[in-house]
Each structure stands twice: as structure tokens, then as C-alpha cells.
A = this chain, B = another copy of it.
Amino acid sequence: MIAATVTGHVWATRRIDGLPPGAFLEVQPDGSGSHLIAFDVLGSGLGERVLVAQGSVAASWFPGTPPPVDALIIGSIDADSTEQQQ
């Protein structure tokens, strides 16, 4: 997983079938200048620090046919005790 901060929201009305209810959020991984788009079912907000799982495990979490999502917010970070405090 990566620790990241929610930095935006992405809307895509024209989309392929099979995407579950939820939001596409832009997140910035800690210590990185780049961004990725993670699927969110927790109602995470702008500026919130989150844990993101990547790859097929993100899709496998959903019941039924796995949707084509490759990154999923799995939790909201309360606190951490790390050498890389932010």
C-alpha cells in the first residue's frame, strides 16, 4: 500500500460498463510529486490522508465480477508514527 493525500476529484461521465458506485479521487503519494487516481467508497475528502492498495487486489475487493479499477482507498489514516512525518 501507499500512504497518500487526497488532492482532487475526477469526473468521467462517458465510461465503460461495470464500474461500481463510488468516486475517482486524485491522490498524491507521500514523498512524491506525481499523482494517481484511486477509487473511493469511503467518502474520503480533500486533504485527507489515506491508504491506497494497487493492482488486481483493488478490483477483487468488490463482490461479483471484478471492476476495472486498479487502485482503491482502503482506509483513512488516523495517525502514524514514522520517520517520515508529514
Number of this chain's copies in the assembly equals: 5
Interface positions, chain A 27-85, Cβ under 8 Å from B, are 28, 30-39, 41-42, 51, 53-61, 66-84
CA separation between A42 and B19, bound complex, in Å?
14
Chain A count of residues within 8 A CB distance of the other chain: 59
**What's the nearest-Cβ distance from chain B to residue A67, in Å?**
8
**What's the nearest-Cβ distance from chain B to residue A56, in Å?**
5
CA separation between A15 and B24, bound complex, in Å?
17
> Quick one: given A24-B51, A56-B57, are A81 and B8 in contact (CB under 8 Å)?
yes
Provide the residues of chain B in CB contact with A39, threshold 8 Å.
Answer: 1
**What's the nearest-Cβ distance from chain B to residue A43, in Å?**
9
